[in-house]
Each structure stands twice: as structure tokens, then as C-alpha cells.
Amino acid sequence: MPEQDLYTLTPSSIVVYSTVWCPDCKRAKQFFGEQRVPYINVDIEQDPKGMAFVEKINDGKRIIPTIVFPDGEVLIEPSNAELAEKLGLQTKAGRTFYDVIVVGGGPAGLTAAFYMAREGLDVLVIEKAGLGGQVGITQVLENFPGFDEGISGAEFARRLERQARRFGVEILQAQTVTGVEREGQYLTVTTGDETSYCARAVLLATGAHYRRLNVPGEAELIGTNIHFCATCDGAFYKGKKVLVIGGGNSGFEEGLFLTKFASQVDIVERSPQVRASRILQEKVARRDDMHVILNHAVKEFRGKDKLEAVLVEDRATGEIKEWHYDGVFVFIGLTPNSDLLKGKAELDPAGFIKTKGMMTTMPGVFAAGDVRAGSTKQAASAAGEGASAAIMIREYLEGK
């Protein structure tokens, strides 16, 4: 964005005026990231013009976050609900009862939803983040049947959404589900705004989230210099040096994406071998701006308001090394989003939901996609599980 567009009440993109230490700033930027809304971040402590602009808007006060939209509207310290309203996201449903409520708007949830809706069932989908799930933040989807030249994750997510809406699926966004309970013959789903919706059946397609390292310093720097989404945060590291943690497909794919911005991208894997596919390994090996470091484990992040050092153990020698990077992206596996059923249905030791015929041990509650035990964690199979779940739910409802 040209400099003259930043300090104006009608910028060409959303501009977030913030600091690295402000928790409300982190929350607002996380909200935009989850909903995949592009924005420009201005750190007012590093940008005197940005500081002056914020003071001008706020009558001499340095109030953050101050968020300026292209239509000229300014939101000061907005809540997530206010941001959702500004973006035009539907957060309340049109009625209180549906045949089926689907929790999760990824490939499994949306596929199940339009399969059921096209057969005449009233379906509500509730999604807290961007539609499309993990697929939506994938740079290129190359292994989904039917897309011989690949398709961007964002475009794939948009097509899924359009397809679901075409068949009459109602979709809530930026809305969290806090509870699923059985009340007599019906199931009740409660959302973060304390609204309750009833249904004859519920499908949990809540997916999984990226696992954390759980080492000292990580929690304090998440959202500042430690990230879990290259598509969301990669642009902050233009011309800088970044470290990707994780030698699987995700680490290599996201590392390749980060080369669009960063001048150097290194991948560290704690094992002696990487787990990424041969094709991805070959792509990385051909690049001069990428290096892969094996058998090294990250032990600590140092820095208060920003990352100052990464402490890494050479697992062959035991030597502790100090590395310096501008940012870190962590891709070390997935943890299931199964909290809604803890203590209510059977989970496996890793927390994934066990099913029989796609139904959990909680009658009327089904599970599909990455959150389900035994799933393959692939977009194509998630869509297939969504279709299977739709058929199983239809048969379940016919028997009621």
C-alpha cells in the first residue's frame, strides 16, 4: 500500500494501528486472521506518522487498537462482535429449530450440510473462524480430485461456501459453540452469545488445530513473532529471516509459501529425517533461500515484547545453540477440537472422537473429518466423510 494511503480516513485496505504488547490489538488481528480478512498493521511505536494519526483521530489520546476501514468508518477498541457486524458476518440464526446443526465449516461440515439441504433438511452451520477450515489457509491444493492444475485454498473454500448457500444452508460465522446437550428427544447447541438452538441431530466437524511446542517463552510471543498460519502472518516478514518448526508436509508447504515474503526460510526438524513428501523435499532443495536442519529440538524462546533468540538443542551432541530469527512458524501436528464432547462421548487417548457408523456414543451426535478418530486428515477424505455423515444422519432421522 502506498504510504499516502495509510494515514487517511479512506485507505485502500483495512488499517490496524497497534503495538506489539497490546492484548486487544492481538485479539483484533487474530479475529481478522481467523476470518481471512486482509489488513495492514501499523505499529505506532515504530511509526511516528502512525502515532500522530492515532492521536489526531482520538483527540490527542493514544488509544489502540484504532482500526480504519476503506469506507471511512473508524472503530476504537472494538469487540469481536463489533468487528463481525462491521464485516457483515451473520452471527445469529433466523430461527431456533433445525433438522440438523453442523458445528464446523470446513470440507467435512460444508459437504455434509449441502448434501442434507439438497434432500430437503433444514441445516444450520456454525463456524467460529473462516469457512473452509484448514484448507482455506492452504496455499495450493494439488491433490483434490478434479482440480488437475491445483486450486488455491481460499478459492476452494469460497466454492464450498457458495455451493452450500445455493442449496439453502444457513451459515453463522464468527460464532463459537460452547455446549452440546441432549434435552429429551432433541439436542441443544449453545453459542458464545448464550443463544440456544435445537436440532434433531448434530454433526461435529470441528477439525483440529496446530499443536504448540509448550516450551518456555512460546505463550508470551504467540501472535507477536510466533505464528501458526503462514497465509495469515507471512506478509509481516517481507525481506526478513524466519524459522519454520516441523519437517512434515505442512512445514515444507508453509515454508515454501513464506519465501514469497522472507529473504531466508529455514526448516528445523527434531528427528534425524523429515516426514515431508519427496516432491516437497525436492522443491525445497532447489531453493537457495531455504535450508533444512535435522535432529535439532527447540527448547526455549527468549524475548519479552519481541523475539530475541531461539534456544535449540543439537540432539546428537547435546549442545545448546542460540539462533536469531525475526519470526517463527510452528507446524508440528494437530490436536483435535473435541472439547464439546469431553465427558459426554468416547474419545481415543489423543482426544479424537470415536464413532460407529459416523455416530458418536452420544446418541444423535455425529462426527466427521479431522476431529474423528481414524480420519486421514486429508481434504478429499474429509469431504467424503461429510457425504457419508449426511447419509448416516438422514437414515438416523428417518428412524426417529
Q: What is the pLDDT of residues 274-329, one digit of tens each?
A: 999 999 999 999 999 999 999 999 999 999 879 999 999 999 999 999 999 999 99
Confidence of residue 334 (pLDDT cuts 50, 70, 90): confident
Does residue 2 surpass a pLDDT of 70?
no
8 A C-beta contact, residue 202 and residue 190? no
Q: Which of 99, 233, 266, 370 is catalytic?
A: 233
Q: What is the pLDDT of residues 51-99, one digit of tens each?
A: 999 999 999 999 999 999 999 999 999 999 899 999 999 999 999 999 9
As a whole number, mean pLDDT of residues 102-120 equals 97
Q: What is residue 4's predicted lDDT score, i.e. its pLDDT?
A: 55
Output the CA angle 190-196-198, nearest 5 degrees: 105
**Is-above-0.85 flag for pTM?**
no
In this structure, which amino acid lies at residue 139? Q
Count the residues in the chain. 400
Confidence of residue 3 (pLDDT cuts 50, 70, 90): low
Q: Which of 5, 24, 43, 229 is catalytic?
A: 229
8 A C-beta contact, residue 28 and residue 65? yes
In this structure, which amino acid lies at residue 333? G
Does residue 400 surpass a pLDDT of 80?
no
Is residue 198 part of the annotated active site? The answer reads no
Residues 373 and 277: their CA atoms lie apart, in Å, by: 23
Find the largest Cα–Cα distance for the chain: 67
Is residue 22 part of the annotated active site? The answer reads no
Mean pLDDT of the chain: 93
CA dihedral 50, 53, 54, 55 (to 10 degrees): 120
Output the CA angle 277-222-13, nearest 5 degrees: 90
Does residue 370 surpass a pLDDT of 80?
yes
Residues 310 and 214: their CA atoms lie apart, in Å, by: 14
Q: What is the pLDDT of residues 152-194, one digit of tens each?
A: 888 999 999 999 999 999 999 999 999 999 999 999 999 999 9
